[in-house]
Amino acid sequence: MPGEGFEFGGEVAWRPSPQYTEASRLKTFMDRHRLGSYDELLRRSTTDLAWFWTAVLDDLHIEFYEPYTEVVDTSPGIAWTRWCVGGKLNIVHNCVDKWIGTPVEQKVAVRWEGEEGATRTLTYGELYRQVNRCANGLRELGLDRGDRLALFMPMCPELITAFFASIKIGGIILPLFSGYGAEAIATRLHDAGAKAIVTADGFWRRGQLVAMKPIADAAMTAAPSVEHAIVVSRVNVDVPWDQRRDRRWTDLLGRQPDECETVRTGADDPLMIIYTSGTTGRPKGALHTHCGFPIKSAQDIVHCFDVRDTDTMFWVTDMGWMMGPWEVFGMTLVGGSMVIYDGALDHPAPDRLWALVERHRATVLGVSPTLVRALMKYGEEPVRRHDLSSLRILGSTGEPWNPESWRWLFEQAGGARLPIINYSGGTEVSGGLVAGNVLTPIKPCSFAGPPPGIAADVVDDRGRPVRNQVGELVVRAPWIGMTRGFWNDRLRYEETYWSRFPGVWVHGDWAAIDEDGLWYIVGRSDDTIKVAGKRLGPAEVESVLVEHPAVVEAAAIGIPDEAKGQALVCFCVLAPARDPTATLAEELKAMVATRLGKPLRPQAVEFVPDLPKTRNAKVMRRVIRATYLGEPPGDLSSLENPQAVDAIARVRQRG
């Protein structure tokens, strides 16, 4: 196991006040069910699954066309658990339709801002009518129940409309990262057998026009199943056009009526395929259902982030990552508002994120630790420039924290008064396997533990529970949001998650639980480094490096070494005006050796202008390692900054 040098979060930084606890959704839920403590809720939620998930569905006021006969059925085997058996449910009814004729109809559902400064809002009533027009247009094209419809779009209001319209007709949505290249899109379109794609002419990124339609065209050439392309004019530029296949968004919706009947799907019928890239092989298409992903999303939004119908959430994400659908489903199921932004968060100035919070009065802000580390280099002034008093919850996901960046967000954006709700799970689980909440204390970088309904544990190589040391994150019971397998690849799903310990989901993360019962995610187990028999996670090394005032970001990898098995190599992004000297490199090596032990002294510390990241700010360590070793880097389709790979290749050539 990694982690001999891992340092837990130390002293408690935030304690819940009555302001947070007494009116919280979680406490209200516990009081309703006469549960005396949070620990009692956790125990009952993971041992009496039928009670808990029925209670969640009731708490969220989920309406079924026809009731289910049993909420959970494990008879097919735990990996293939069925949910809401026999029930009829199309989640669009609960996200959009049921709000019509209620006060929510007049509330803003979507607040949008583009990089160029354009803004738009959609009330629930306007969203309902737009969704119906789009659904009627899709039906006019011959699209129907069970058809796969891909969404390759920037974060704009039409994306939300197309998202719900595709589901309304009984289709299966295929959200795609807006930064994908043609090959990545084609692979996913072909694997899913997509029949249609909704795309845009382009979008703005740091003031530059990025074309989307030509990329979609190239992808469709390699995906013959696609019969229709619907094109949104986001930036109003001319694009290539195929009269037989292409339709303009405005033409498709303009002649359609405002009413459209929602297809009555089965509660556990397919809803969405989200592809997640692995280190090897083709992307995995995680399959989710109407009573799965959306219910888990909304439950976590309520129980972990204490979101109410009065809240406005701004989560920095793309619809191609699970946090995009997570926010859209979750916020509409509770009748709240969401902010979506189409652009770079450092353009035209480094205060753009904080300006968005102030302008749209966001109450819940979700960021990644990597984004925070990138913004730290600009100092406090861009934050201080804006009124962030609307915020009451900070959220984070995507990467492990280090204490310095956690404290920066806590103190600068949160004024040392707001909780940072740490959240980690994944595409395949519909949300969090570990999370924070507003009822329990928070240490820097910590999680409260599993959210209600998740029977998570940390185990050693033999599957035995461990405490105060790093182990594998596992889940011992099914939950409503777990993927219903990989699209057209049943065996791969079983091998990926269920093959190591009988009846136990092995997630692929290293985690730890400290003496106070707080949890930590250390990193991905496939990122583990083993030096002279000692395993450690990259976050352990990176947390040491970014403590140095010269280092803004860091990534650690292991490379083959004849004597030690692996040697440690570190890549550092320096603060402005700091020079990449040999003296600094030696200083950083000494820091790591002092903190983690002499055997873990890095073989090399390399300085680069940037680290390869996805748009949701996950550092791609496997890409760093492969490039540094001169090996094929694998799937680069999700990279936001491919130039960072070129910089690492130049480092290798110099060496």
CA–CA dist 90, 78 (Å, integer): 25
Which of 429, 396, 401 has the alpha carbon at shortest distance from 506? 429
Cβ(178)–Cβ(203) under 8 Å? yes
Which of 324, 311, 214 has the alpha carbon at shortest distance from 272? 324
On the CB side of 537, CA atoms within 13 Å amount to: 27
Q: Classify domain 528-654 by CATH number.
A: 3.30.300.30
**What residues does 394 pair with on adjacent strands?**
365, 420
Q: Classify domain 18-89+288-523 by CATH number.
A: 3.40.50.12780
Whether the predicted pLDDT of 325 surpasses 90: yes
CA–CA dist 97, 168 (Å, integer): 10
Segments of the chain assigned to CATH 3.40.50.12780: 18-89+288-523
CA–CA dist 456, 358 (Å, integer): 37
Mean pLDDT of 616-633: 85
SS3 label, residue 114: strand
pLDDT of amino acid 535: 64
> What pLDDT, in 10s, does the model give residues 326-343?
999 999 999 999 999 999
> What pLDDT, in 10s, does the model give residues 249-260?
999 999 899 999
Cβ(52)–Cβ(60) under 8 Å? no
Ramachandran category for residue 604: left, alpha or beta (phi over 0 → left; psi -120 to 50 → alpha): beta
Cβ(556)–Cβ(373) under 8 Å? no
CB atoms closer than 10 angstroms to residue 126? 18
SS3 label, residue 198: strand
SS3 label, residue 390: coil
On the CB side of 471, CA atoms within 13 Å amount to: 21
Distances (CA, A) of 151 to 271, 379, 399, 549: 14, 37, 26, 42
pLDDT of amino acid 361: 98
> If pLDDT is split at 50, 70 and 90, which confidence band does 402 have?
confident
DSSP per position, 498-542: SSSSTT-EEEEEEEEE-TTS-EEEEEEGGG-EEETTEEE-HHHHH
Structure tokens at 292: 């799965």
Mean pLDDT of 288-299: 98
> What pLDDT, in 10s, does the model give residues 577-593?
899 999 999 999 999 98
User: Which run of H or E residues covers position 162?
Assistant: helix 157-168
Which of 63, 137, 66, 132 has the alpha carbon at shortest distance from 98? 63
| SS3 of 246-267 | EEEHHHHHHCCCCCCCCCCCEC
Whether the predicted pLDDT of 282 surpasses 80: no
Distances (CA, A) of 365 to 378, 522, 622: 19, 23, 29
Structure tokens at 388: 């962030």
Task: Give residue 214's Cα distance to chain centre.
Answer: 27
CA–CA dist 593, 587 (Å, integer): 10
Q: How far apart are the first and last CA of the chain?
A: 31
On the CB side of 584, CA atoms within 13 Å amount to: 18
What burial class does residue 102 get, using C-beta atoms within 10 Å of its C-beta: 0-12 exposed, 13-18 middle, 19+ buried?
Answer: exposed
Whether the predicted pLDDT of 114 surpasses 80: yes
Which of 327, 279, 295 has the alpha carbon at shortest distance from 496? 279
Q: H helices of 334-368, where?
A: 352-360
pLDDT of amino acid 57: 98
SS3 label, residue 441: coil
Cβ(148)–Cβ(227) under 8 Å? no
CB atoms closer than 10 angstroms to residue 234? 23
Task: Give residue 563's Cα distance to chain centre.
Answer: 39
Whether the predicted pLDDT of 609 surpasses 60: yes
Whether the predicted pLDDT of 278 surpasses 80: no
CA–CA dist 37, 39 (Å, integer): 5
Mean pLDDT of 545-569: 89
User: Which run of H or E residues covers position 602?
Assistant: none
Cβ(509)–Cβ(295) under 8 Å? no
What burial class does residue 282 get, using C-beta atoms within 10 Å of its C-beta: 0-12 exposed, 13-18 middle, 19+ buried?
Answer: middle
> If pLDDT is split at 50, 70 and 90, which confidence band does 198 have?
very high
CA–CA dist 157, 301 (Å, integer): 21
Segments of the chain assigned to CATH 3.40.50.980: 120-254
Which of 547, 556, 474 has the alpha carbon at shortest distance from 513? 474
Q: H helices of 193-308, where?
A: 213-221, 249-254, 293-303
Q: Which architecture does CATH list for 120-254?
A: 3-Layer(aba) Sandwich (3.40)
Whether the predicted pLDDT of 22 surpasses 70: yes
Q: Helix count (H) and strand count (E) of the chain? A: 21, 28
pLDDT of amino acid 533: 60
pLDDT of amino acid 599: 77
Structure tokens at 466: 């461990």
Structure tokens at 248: 């303009």
CA–CA dist 207, 215 (Å, integer): 19
User: Which run of H or E residues covers position 426?
Assistant: strand 420-426
Average pLDDT, rounded, for the chain: 93
pLDDT of amino acid 90: 98
CA–CA dist 309, 99 (Å, integer): 12
Distances (CA, A) of 100 to 10, 96, 528: 49, 8, 51
CA–CA dist 373, 402 (Å, integer): 9
Q: What pTM, to 2 d.p., does this model score?
A: 0.86
> What pLDDT, in 10s, does the model give residues 430-475?
999 999 999 999 999 999 999 999 999 999 989 999 999 889 999 9
Segments of the chain assigned to CATH 3.30.300.30: 528-654
